[in-house]
Amino acid sequence: IGLEYTTVARNTLLVNTMPFWVLIGGHFLLGERINARKLGGLVLAFCGLAAVFSDGIVAGNTATLTGDLLSLGSGILWAMTSIVIKRSKLVETSAEKLLLYQLAGAAVVGLLVMPFAGPPIRAVTALPTLALLFQSFYIVAFTYVLWFWLLTRYPAAGLSSFAFLSPVFGVLCGAVLLGEPPTVRIFLALGLIAAGLIIVNRPRRQVPA
């Protein structure tokens, strides 16, 4: 719904603030302590995102506060999902069951928000059908299961930092598939994000006894 009121660039930036909320929630609720190294890595990665989408956040866009707040709320709720899983007995549940719970919850929420989603689709064409199949088989059936499997085995904050790669891949795919020319800012962003991820996920140095 947020995308109906704001730009894709702003939406992507705000949704992908998720790692910050996971880092804060993990600090207070999961015992995953924040240190200067992790915080610095996430700041670097966010600077990379800002470099990617700085062209999209300029005067003249039709973004609204409503869309921005909904997008930010999406990022917060996404983070809460990871925190709830890590804090509850769901962490001991198989990835397939976690996916089933997510789909069941999404079906209920979908029914509740359907009256606000506009008129029903009357013409079924090839492009939206292919998009639905891609979401169903690759995104849901494969990547969601993989994500929940990883979430049960690794720290939530470290995994969430990889979400910074999502919008960057989106920009790169736009360049490859849609002919959108990459800019210096994209390469700068890739460097910043890669550096941030390395810093956040670098193993702690073992102090000899």
pLDDT by residue (tens digit) across 118-158? 777 667 788 888 988 988 888 877 887 787 788 777 776 66
Amino acid at 77: L
Stated length of the chain:
209
Report domain extents, the chain. Answer: 2-93+152-201
Task: Give how far Cα 190 sits from Cα of 9, 53, 62, 152, Å.
Answer: 16, 12, 27, 28
Q: Residue 59: is its pLDDT beyond 50?
A: no
Structure tokens belonging to residue 203: 């193993």
* Span 190-202, average pLDDT: 75
* Span 58-65, average pLDDT: 56
> From the CA atom positions of the chain, what is the Rg in Å?
19
- What span, in angstroms and rounded, lies between the C-alpha atoms of 86 and 90? 7
- For residue 150, the tally of other CB atoms under 10 A from its CB is 14
Structure tokens belonging to residue 175: 């360049």
- What span, in angstroms and rounded, lies between the C-alpha atoms of 148 and 120? 32
Cβ 56 vs Cβ 186: under 8 Å = no
Whole-number average pLDDT of the chain: 76
Q: Residue 91: is its pLDDT beyond 80?
A: no
Percent of the chain with pLDDT over 70: 80
- What span, in angstroms and rounded, lies between the C-alpha atoms of 169 and 193? 12
- pTM value? 0.65
* Span 31-55, average pLDDT: 78
pLDDT of residue 180: 65
Q: Residue 44: is its pLDDT beyond 50?
A: yes
pLDDT of residue 156: 67
Nearest Cα residue to 46 out of 12, 80, 70: 12
pLDDT of residue 17: 77
HEC secondary structure over 19-35: HHHHHHHHHHHHCCCCC
CA torsion sign for 31, 159, 11, 136 is negative
- For residue 75, the tally of other CB atoms under 10 A from its CB is 22
pLDDT of residue 201: 67
Angle of helix 36-53 relative to helix 165-178, nearest 10 degrees? 30
Better pLDDT: 45 or 208: 45
Of 70-74, 151-155, 161-165, 188-192, where does mean pLDDT reach its minimum? 161-165
- What span, in angstroms and rounded, lies between the C-alpha atoms of 165 and 184? 17
